[in-house]
Amino acid sequence: MGKPKAPKAPDPKETAAAQTGTNIGTAIANQTLGNVNQVTPDGALTYSQTGTKQWTDPTNGKIYDLPTYTATQTLSAGQQAIKNQSDKAELNLATLAAGQSAKLNDLLGRPVDTSKAPAAGDPSKIGLPQYTGYGAGPTLQTSLPNTGNVQSSIAGAGNIQRDVANAGQIQTSLGDAGDITKSYDYSADTSRYENALMERMNPQLERSRAALETQLANQGLQPGSEAYNRAIDSATRQENDARLGAILNAGQEQSRLAGLARDQATFQNAAQSQNFNQALAAAGFTNQAQAQQYGQNANNMQLSNAAQAQQFGQNAAQLEANNSAQAQNFQQALAAAGFGNDAKQQMFQNQNTTTAANNALKDQSFNAQQAQLTAQNNARSQYLNELYAARNQPINEISSLLSGAQVNNPNFVPTQGVSIPNVDYAGLVQQDYANRVNAYNAKQAGIGSILGGVAGLASLSDERAKKDIKQVGGLYEYRYKGEGKDAPKRIGVMAQEVEKVRPDVVIKGDDGLRRVDYGLLFSAGKRRAA
């Protein structure tokens, strides 16, 4: 088995030259596709090749001929006729404007004469109004004379009676009227009545049963036959009905005796209630008499207090009458002072009104002078505007003659851009090289798996040939350049690092990349001869 040879790296200049040629060819094709001729109602746009230009590749000196194009725009027959007429009209207007502009030499050569304009108003001839100030107001009365002292106390009318004489003790309890009967005795043993009734009925029932059986036997009906069983069943139901009737009669008798006991208990409770009500009525009569005595005592006390209150009210009324007289005197003095102050204030207002009227007359005279000055200025401004308009009119006419209408240009629609993408020739060359390197590495790995541990086997370990490098302990985890992101990672050493301490196990290949002899590297105590 021969040792595989590493693939030769591509020449950058050759790759660049091939890539440039591909790009130029693609650009020329895209330019040709993009030159789309267009025809519209207003005109047409056409492209034509009018020559070539030479371009030299600076990397290899190769010369390329690059085509050059010219875009020609033509108007439709109608738009061309409009343009011809517009050009003729513009020429006529320009000729007329040139003739008119000769007159401007004389017009603009003479300065504007404003000597005949009306004179402007003179603001200095308007005198400012002299206003009359307001005088001081009248002195108002701010105090009133004393109208007497206000009476603030009332004579005593006697003491108020605040308690009532004792009228006796209220009865709050009643004597015992006897116990209430809460239960009554009656016989609850209904079986005694039932047994008594059954003792009378059973012999008769037994005789009737024996007579029935004899009768059935005489009729030839045997026990177990349908007719015999039907007759015995009917007799049995009659016996049961009789026993049920005895039970019901016993219950009715028991209820009758219970009703008698209940009536006796009710009579006893009615007697006890009557005795209680009589004691209650006697206690109420006693309490009512005591309340009447208390009410009489309270009435006497209220009568005394009412007399005392009447005396106090009379004293208060007299006091209020005195105070009302004093207040009336004060109000009369206050009204007199207010009337005097109002009169003085009215006189002061009359003086101010007269002063304001005089000042308004002075304002009116001042405004009239201002209006006259404004009228003079307006007349002068109007004269100057007319003078300037007469001077500017010829210039405006010439400017109007020089302005003309424009011909409608064709509106071309945007064409759909069609382009040919560039071929990544350099990328393809690099990918081909990476594929060949991978194939070489695969062969190297296959040989390593067969001859694992044998000295002299070297694996590509150059740092420049690896990517996605991550240190794991004393080794590195990596992928070779050209391998996809999903390719499994490899584990090994970096040739540049090993070369510093074990140059004897590092081999430099024809491609300039370093390789490591893993068998020799990991053979304890062994070194390859220099």
Residue-wise pLDDT for 400-424, tens only, equals: 666 654 555 666 656 545 455 665 7
Provide, rounded to the nearest whole percent, the portion of the chain with pLDDT above 70. Answer: 87
pLDDT mean over 156-184: 77
Beta bridge partners of 517: 458
pLDDT at 462 over 50: yes
Is 164 within 8 Å of 305 (Cβ atoms)? no
Q: What is the pLDDT of residue 421?
A: 63
Higher pLDDT, 506 or 359: 506
pLDDT mean over 161-180: 77
pLDDT band at 496 (very low <50, low <70, confident <90, very high): very high
Higher pLDDT, 182 or 153: 153
Helices (H), 134-225: 190-218
Using only the alpha carbons of the chain, give its radius of gyration.
72
pLDDT mean over 166-189: 72
- DSSP-derived 3-state class of residue 59: coil
pLDDT at 189 over 70: no
DSSP annotation of 65: E
List CB contacts of 15: < 8 A, sequence separation 6 or more.
425, 426, 429, 430
pLDDT band at 450 (very low <50, low <70, confident <90, very high): very low
pLDDT band at 3 (very low <50, low <70, confident <90, very high): low
Cα separations (Å) of 72 from 49, 69, 413? 11, 10, 16
- The neighbour count for residue 194, using CB atoms within 10 Å, is 19
pLDDT digits (tens, 9 = 90+) for 239-296: 888 888 878 887 787 788 778 878 888 888 888 888 888 888 888 888 888 888 888 8
Q: What is the pLDDT of residue 451?
A: 40
Q: DSSP of 225-269, one letter per residue? A: SHHHHHHHHHHHHHHHHHHHHHHHHHHHHHHHHHHHHHHHHHHHH
Mean per-residue pLDDT of the chain: 80
pLDDT band at 238 (very low <50, low <70, confident <90, very high): confident
pLDDT at 309 over 60: yes
Distance CA 56, CA 436 (A): 33
List CB contacts of 464: < 8 A, sequence separation 6 or more.
513
Q: What is the pLDDT of residue 446?
A: 52
Task: Report which listed range, 11-25, 209-223, 410-424, is most confident.
Answer: 209-223
167-181, 314-328, 408-422: least confident range: 408-422
In the block, residue with structure tokens 């005198």:
127
In the block, residue with structure tokens 């009676």:
161
- DSSP-derived 3-state class of residue 486: coil
pLDDT band at 159 (very low <50, low <70, confident <90, very high): confident
pLDDT at 160 over 60: yes
Q: Domain extents for the chain?
A: 190-384, 425-521
pLDDT at 366 over 50: yes
Q: What is the pLDDT of residue 153?
A: 80
Residue 515's Cβ-count burial label (10 Å; 0-12, 13-18, 19+) is: buried
pLDDT band at 6 (very low <50, low <70, confident <90, very high): low
- Predicted TM-score (pTM) above 0.85: no
pLDDT mean over 123-146: 77
Using CA atoms of 328, 333, 339, 343 in order, give the dihedral in degrees to the nearest 10.
Answer: 180
Token pair in block for residue 483: 């391998």
Higher pLDDT, 335 or 257: 335
pLDDT mean over 196-218: 86
Is 4 within 8 Å of 440 (Cβ atoms)? yes
pLDDT at 476 over 80: yes
pLDDT mean over 318-343: 86
